[in-house]
Structure 1
């Protein structure tokens, strides 16, 4: 079965550009200052870059097992990848370091000053980017690199998605049990008292409370609100300050598996797919793009 990555141009919504990849993809991220180049990671255990303009596919780094997450850090000028082999790798044009982590990587996110990684066993580690930058410059490897905070997830079940707040105050996680947790970096008791969690993406079917995984998560960089997408095929916008839902879109054709805003926060891409292989084979999967408008405007935003 051929594996491919697609580039959709919203200004010219015709057939997307498509290129083959080295194995099934688990994560992608944009290369800096580019609308045509991405980094991708997946089951082949590699991180690679591909440029849709030139068609060039290049090796970046490798792990011993599938690579679950990949991000690009402008602060480090480096690609950051996390794997099921229990390592975090930081690769710049001139150097590379490998850091051990506690368990299999599930999710990875960056804030202006922090790196947050969620792992199996409900573990969450937080690094300061300045610490990682210094380690990368000096070539410091392994356990010599300090982890700023080691936490246990506020959610009782497997972490499904993780994103950092645009204002650098904290992060949000979701789980397979239809819950969302809003967390803060500052360890002081007064700030930690602000953290909270809530239920979502649930339905009562024949008198039974049916719980769906929350698989899609994205912050709006313009307003600081965030969206969640669930196995119930719905997407909701939430205001983390007012602690309320701002909007819920009508159901998509299948379970929502990914959400992402564009760079100016005015459009939202939603990926949806059935988890039934027979349905997926006949095309019960797709990508929808919504104009957000004022729907993402939360309390106190202009």
Structure 2
């Protein structure tokens, strides 16, 4: 079995026939990993036995996956089928959670709201409550209408951050949202906590919230990353910054690659980015420095995810993604997921 590039490696997972769209480690079990693919399947990997994943087919290409609460065998998935469904690996069945009018780009679960949060190209965010006692979905999701297609979504204990087309970034405060829902307010009656414009000039590819819940990071198609903070006070906003990355000189030309992969290490607060240049870098947001760049992967990076204790990093690569692989002529490279064991390279440097 192939090994992931560089030191501190663990075996790769079985290759896929189509692009990898999404990754989701279990929130408490560091060995369980969900993989969503354009081949219409959701895969469940137990890293203690990586050669025998479970899989369950969906009605269209899978664009995102998330774990259901209080279980190690049930997930949520959304994609080109225009719906969110449960994926039950015990019963090998799926159940409709909610429908959208276009592809479902993002799926998350909020413990604080007991809701599946789904973002779609139909320009809505839908919050579908899951009854904690029966695990059944509400037939009437809360529909939040948006100014553009959803490109990326992040949910924390206190915030929902939605990155859209037109460089829109809207933020909801979960305690406020929970109160509004308890009052029976409809989606059109609920305003976001903040409406922002992205600090990046080009299309957003990914957004993730910091483990300390004080801000978020976005990436773009133009090889840039922005570090933002929720606190609207001028002194807090003065700390935000952006930087260039995932750029290479190719035959004398400065070539810029999209930054598709983004993940925070939950233990150390550092984050990893993965680009169309087939590389992964680890960054210290406080020191504003790169800690490590790993050797090239076989194809452009399509998704990244750290596990619950920050000890492993899943790296998804997809040969059809925008960018260049490390194969002959930059083509090919296949589709798959490597899982990298994380050592000191993910820890912030201690100042002398």
Question: Which TM-score bucket, shorter chain as reference?
Answer: over 0.9
CA distance in 2, matches of 1:165, 1:132: 20
CA contact (8 A) 1:90 1:136 kept: no
Q: Secondary structure of the residue that 2:77 maps to in structure 1?
A: strand
Match of 1:89 in 2: 126
The answer as to whether partners of 1:26 and 1:42 remain within 8 angstroms in 2 is yes
Q: 1:34 aligns with which of 71, 91, 96?
A: 71
Q: SS of the counterpart of 1:69?
A: strand
Seen in structure 2, the aligned counterparts of structure 1 residues 156 and 285 have a Cα distance that, compared at 3 Å, is: same
Question: Deviations along 1:111-138, whole A, 9 cap, x unmatched?
Answer: 2211110110000001100122123323
* Unaligned stretches of 5+ residues in structure 2: 1-37, 131-138, 326-331
Structure 1 counterpart of 2:341:
291
- Alpha carbons 2:299, 2:333 under 8 Å: kept: no
Determine whether 1:56 maps to 2:101.
no
SS in 2 for 1:284: coil
**Which digits, 9 at most, give the CA deviation of each residue in 1:71-114, with x for residues without a partner?**
00011011001111111110113862111111111111012211
Change (3 A) 1:295 1:283: closer
What's the CA shift for 1:8? 1.1
> Which of 22, 42, 53 lines up with 1:16 in the alignment?
53
Question: Does 2:297 correspond to 1:240?
Answer: no
Superimposed CA distance per residue, residues 140-189 of structure 1 (whole angstroms, 9 cap, x where no aligned partner): 11231121110100000000000000101100000000000000000111
Q: Distance in 1 between matches of 2:56 and 2:216?
A: 33
Counterpart in 1 of 2:24?
none
Q: What do the CA deviations read for 1:178-203 (whole angstroms, capped 9, x no partner)?
A: 00000000011111000000000000
Residue 136 of structure 1 corresponds to 181
Quote how far apart the aligned CAs of 1:32 are: 1.4
Q: What is the Cα-based RMSD across aligned positions, in Å?
A: 2.1
8 Å Cα contact 1:95/1:136 also seen in 2: no
Task: Say if 2:247 and 2:255, in contact at 8 Å, map to a contact too.
Answer: yes
User: In 2 relative to 1, CA 2–124 (structure 1 residues): closer, same or farther, beyond 3 Å?
Assistant: closer
* Shift in Å, 1:139: 2.9
- Of 90-99 and 197-206, deviating more is 90-99
Output aligned runs, 1:159-198, within 5 Å.
159-198=204-243
Q: Please give the TM-score of this superposition, normalised by the length of structure 1.
A: 0.95
Runs of 4+ deviating beyond 6 Å? none
For normalisation by structure 2, the TM-score amounts to 0.81
Pick from 265, 269, 287: which aligns with 2:310? 265
**SS of residue matched to 1:136:** helix
Matching residue of 2:164: 119
CA change 1:283–1:226 in 2 (3 A) is closer
Instruction: Give the number of the structure with larger relative contact order, counting CA–CA contacts within 8 Å between residues 6 or more apart.
Output: 2
SS in 1 for 2:162: strand
Which residue, out of 51, 70, 76, partners 2:107? 70
- Count of residues paired in the alignment: 300
Which residue of structure 2 aligns with residue 227 of structure 1? 272
Residue 53 of structure 1: how far off its partner (Å) = 2.2
Task: Point out where structure 1 has 5 or more consecutive residues left out of the alignment.
Answer: none
Asked if the contact 1:118–1:159 (Cα under 8 Å) also holds between the matched residues in 2, the reply is: yes
